[in-house]
Amino acid sequence: MKRPFQTLPWGHMKKSMLRFGVLISLFAGLMQLSCKNDDRQELFELNFPPPPIEFDILPGLNTFDTHIYSFSPIPTRYLEKLAASGHSADEVIAIEAKDAALSSLFGDENLNFISRVSIYIFDPFDPANKVEFLYLDPIPYKEKNTIRLFPGITDVSDWIKEEYIGIEIRLNFREISPALTEMELKFDLRALGK
């Protein structure tokens, strides 16, 4: 009587398992080689505000538009921080976002109606020269009064090394904004060196 399913002989099964193990090992090795360690060190930190970056979300704003809030000029205080750190301008190879939070001003408003946040940095004397450096898309739907933003890997040193910058906040809503909501943006940048 024939069996409906063929079983593999033990020797063939060992070879199959060995091949599978070798393939997994090769894949893991290639993944390890493709990852590059970031050997740059943080030289100093730039904190914003001051000045405070505050704005109001008006009630009744729709879900179809992107709502944009711009702030400029904002002093960078880059030269002050550089001098206080004891490093030279030549040592700074990049400036990247480190941490950021968008919250209601007094921490008492539910921000569930916000579905997407993008923060751009721009030159106040050439507003078309801008780049996104902080974002969160989509924002998880849960009760919250602070939205922690992802820092992008964009080097913003071209903007920060100038005396003034501009910040543009772009918001998309999943629901119509329920009430007047006073908002505040805080973010930190890090200057990196070799």
* The pLDDT of residue 141: 85
* The pLDDT of residue 3: 60
Q: Read off the amino acid at residue 19.
A: R
Q: What distances in angstroms separate CA 188 from CA 25, 47, 93, 133, 149, one per listed residue?
A: 40, 5, 17, 11, 11
Tens of pLDDT, residues 44-80: 999 998 888 999 999 999 999 999 999 999 999 999 9
Give CA 74 to chain center in angstroms.
20
The token duo for 168 is 């543009």
* The pLDDT of residue 147: 94
Answer for the pair 49, 187: CB distance below 8 angstroms, yes or no: no
**Residue found by looking up tokens 């979300």 in the block:** 57
CATH of domain 41-193: 2.60.120
pTM passes above 0.85: no
Beta strands in the chain (DSSP E): 41-57, 67-75, 92-104, 114-123, 126-136, 146-148, 150-151, 164-173, 181-193
Tens of pLDDT, residues 149-166: 999 889 999 999 999 999
Question: Which stretches in the chain have pLDDT values below 50?
Answer: none
- The ranges assigned to domains in the chain are 41-193
